[in-house]
Structure 1
Amino acid sequence: MSLLVADQISKTYSSSGWFRAKKAESGVTNVSFVVEPGMCLGLLGESGAGKSTLGKIVLGLLPPGSGSVRFQGEDLYRTDRRTRKQLRRDLQAVFQDCYSAVNPRMTVKQIIGEPLRNYERLSAKEEKRIIFGLLETVGLIAGDMHKTPNQMSGGQLQRVNIARAIALKPKLIVLDEPVSSLDMVVQKQILFHLKELKEKIGLSYLFISHDVMAVNVLSDCVAIIDKGTIAETIDTAKMFECTQPASKKIILSSTKTDLYL
């Protein structure tokens, strides 16, 4: 059974302004894709192409206008409340802005422990042990447990967000531009760490990005989104061999290529 199946997803937004009549604008139209267990599917496109809309729909945050999202065989928007809660345990996210994704008043221990407290009944000692293990997994140390977000760099805090996302051992993580706000050296570190986690513990990812090189590092397959529709789906290994028109729109930076390779 496929882990995630998005079938003919469409979402239309309405817009209006002082000097124009209200009109409908299409967010995404008839988009379909599949994520298999242990796979990373990259959603690659320019700003405004519909990537983040799809991410919100997959996470259960934005109902589609039409179509369905099936996660572990269950329709996210038609299942009962108890099943939906269980599905959300297995479906986590890491967002672009690592600072706005956390409560600035919480310590790292509280941030990572939040999903554990929501879903597990653990003693304080057991929770601390698990959090310490998660910090080690993402390359941080025990001393970071008592820091607050403003005491950490962007790269360190994004690792905290990753630790929180994997705390419940989810089946799928939606990565919505997780490295685009970081400098290039830290981007490389985070991407290769995500790749290592994928291989070590069998994580599956839906990786949303506008950066072709970042997608190339992590993804097994790439769906190229243009104006709300999937223009093409290709294997990552063939990304630089492809000559289709949709792929020609991707501009590669030689400097950035050297960094990731």
Structure 2
Amino acid sequence: MSLLEVRDVTHTYRTSLLFWRAKQRAPVLTNVSLSIEEGMCMGLLGTSGAGKSTLGKVILGLAKPQKGTVFFQGQDLYQMDPKSRRRVRRDLQVVFQDCYSSVNPRMTAEQIIGEPLENYERLSASEQKRKIAHLLDMVGLRSDDMRKYPREFSGGQLQRINIARAIALKPKLIVLDESVSSLDMVNQTVILELLRELKAAFGLSYLFITHDIKAAYSISDELAVMEKGQLIEQCKDKAQLFSSKHPAVKNLLSSILSEHPRHRSISTGSV
């Protein structure tokens, strides 16, 4: 049994018009199916507007699809009773792109990381403080940092805080929605390495949503590509992506620039 299974999901956003009528848009997702096994990272690629983040919201239980089903640990995510849904929320976490809007600016790092612990664990104040200090150490920060506010961290450091919060309950699956795309190249590399280490340490599974092929390839076990709300390519062996004949995949691949500037083609953007 797969940890996560998405079956034929179709989702459409509606816009409200005058006189309380709603205009039906073209589907954002159309018959999307994929699965993620325990301990695996699925890289989900696509350009802006391809439907990647919407699929992430559907998987997180934030946007109920018009058609299709989402099974997490064998249970239908949208047919669960409240008790089961609460249990799922513990095992299904997320790290978003914008590290600053993902936190309350009035809360310290200790309070931010401690939120899920207070919701799900029954720890004494001293036990919780020790656990938060350990989580900070795991993401490469110091225990002294727990007293700081978001404004006192760099973007890369604050994203580490968000990751520490996401792993606090030792979840089964973390949705990483463009979680490194707003960082500079140095911080991207560091955060990707951190995610790999945490995956190995906790046996985590990831859905790594991104438009960056290099980032996806470096961390993912399998790759999938979305275009206009449809899943157009799935590669159990991620190296298969480079032999794809689909035009949208070729366009993504052509966006990868050579490491050395003199080998870059300005006219085509290809290696």
Which runs of structure 2 are paired with 1:149-164 in the superposition (5 Å)?
149-164=150-165
Which runs of structure 2 are paired with 1:55-204 in the superposition (5 Å)?
55-204=56-205
Distance 2:241 2:227 in 1: 16
Distance 2:39 2:71 in 1: 17
Following TM superposition, by how much is the alpha carbon of 1:16 offset from its aligned partner in structure 2, in angstroms? 6.9
1:8 is matched with which residue? 8
Of stretches 244-253 and 189-198 in structure 1, the one that deviates more from structure 2 is 244-253
SS in 2 for 1:230: strand
Q: What is the aligned residue count?
A: 256
1:237 is matched with which residue? 239
Deviation per CA, 1:148-171, whole angstroms, max 9, x where unpaired?
000000000000000000000000
Amino-acid identity (%):
59
**Residue type at the aligned position of 1:240:** F
Q: TM-score, normalised by structure 1?
A: 0.94
Following TM superposition, by how much is the alpha carbon of 1:217 offset from its aligned partner in structure 2, in angstroms? 1.1
**Residue type at the aligned position of 1:197:** L
CA contact (8 A) 1:15 1:25 kept: no
**Residue type at the aligned position of 1:3:** L
Deviation per CA, 1:12-49, whole angstroms, max 9, x where unpaired?
1234789xx94422110000000000000011000000
SS in 2 for 1:190: helix
Q: 1:10 to 1:256 in 2, by over 3 A?
A: farther
Distance 2:172 2:24 in 1: 39
CA contact (8 A) 1:14 1:25 kept: no
2:209 pairs with 1:208: yes
2:37 pairs with 1:36: yes
Following TM superposition, by how much is the alpha carbon of 1:196 offset from its aligned partner in structure 2, in angstroms? 1.2
Following TM superposition, by how much is the alpha carbon of 1:247 offset from its aligned partner in structure 2, in angstroms? 2.1
Q: 1:40 to 1:256 in 2, by over 3 A?
A: farther
Following TM superposition, by how much is the alpha carbon of 1:244 offset from its aligned partner in structure 2, in angstroms? 4.1
CA contact (8 A) 1:232 1:246 kept: no
Following TM superposition, by how much is the alpha carbon of 1:65 offset from its aligned partner in structure 2, in angstroms? 0.6
CA contact (8 A) 1:222 1:236 kept: yes
SS in 2 for 1:239: helix
Of stretches 210-219 and 246-255 in structure 1, the one that deviates more from structure 2 is 246-255
Distance 1:89 1:72 in 2: 12
Distance 2:91 2:260 in 1: 33
SS in 2 for 1:64: coil
Q: 1:78 to 1:111 in 2, by over 3 A?
A: same
CA contact (8 A) 1:213 1:256 kept: no
CA RMSD of aligned residues (A): 1.9
**Residue type at the aligned position of 2:259:** T
Distance 2:200 2:57 in 1: 26
Of stretches 227-236 and 94-103 in structure 1, the one that deviates more from structure 2 is 227-236
CA contact (8 A) 2:173 2:204 kept: yes
**Residue type at the aligned position of 1:249:** N
Q: 1:254 to 1:229 in 2, by over 3 A?
A: same
**Long gaps (5+) in structure 1:** none
Q: TM-score, normalised by structure 2?
A: 0.90
1:255 is matched with which residue? 259
SS in 2 for 1:217: helix
SS in 2 for 1:25: coil
Distance 1:130 1:12 in 2: 42
Of stretches 153-162 and 227-236 in structure 1, the one that deviates more from structure 2 is 227-236
CA contact (8 A) 1:42 1:223 kept: yes
Q: 1:256 to 1:98 in 2, by over 3 A?
A: farther
**Long gaps (5+) in structure 2:** 262-271
